[in-house]
């Protein structure tokens, strides 16, 4: 079902709600890293809400950074995690892009 925004909002909303399940999140993490088990997590924080770009042409959420700019500015869009692990390499990438635009 497509909503007024032109994408499957209901499906997307249900996918996001599933992230509130500790069991599901630990199971997904266990698929990435060996040895992750539900019993290792006695405390659990509340999931947060974050702004995320929607690609209306592809009808999906952007899952990575988007940069836009010209020789006068650079905009980093869709920084989906405030503590992202690639911050130093990504900052170098942005600086390199700015330097290329200037020269």
Query: CB atoms < 10 A from the CB of 54, how many?
Result: 16
Q: Where along the chain do its domains lie?
A: 1-49, 63-103
pTM above 0.75, yes or no: no
pLDDT tens-place string over residues 78-91 = 877 656 667 888 88
Q: For residue 82, what pLDDT is reported?
A: 59
The tens digit of pLDDT for each residue in 14-26 reads: 877 887 788 888 8
Are 29 and 35 within 8 A, CB to CB?
A: no
Task: Name the residue among 53, 50, 63, 60 with its Cα closest to residue 9.
Answer: 60
19 three-class SS: helix
């Amino acid at each position: 079902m497509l909503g007024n925004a032109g994408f499957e909002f209901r499906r997307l909303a249900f996918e996001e709600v599933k992230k509130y399940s500790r069991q599901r999140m630990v199971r997904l993490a266990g698929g990435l890293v060996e040895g992750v088990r539900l019993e290792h997590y006695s405390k659990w924080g509340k999931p947060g809400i974050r702004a995320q770009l929607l690609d209306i042409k592809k009808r999906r959420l952007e899952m990575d950074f988007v940069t836009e700019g010209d020789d006068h500015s650079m905009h980093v869009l869709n920084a989906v995690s405030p503590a992202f692990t690639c911050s130093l390499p990504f900052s170098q990438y942005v600086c390199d892009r700015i330097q290329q635009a200037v020269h």
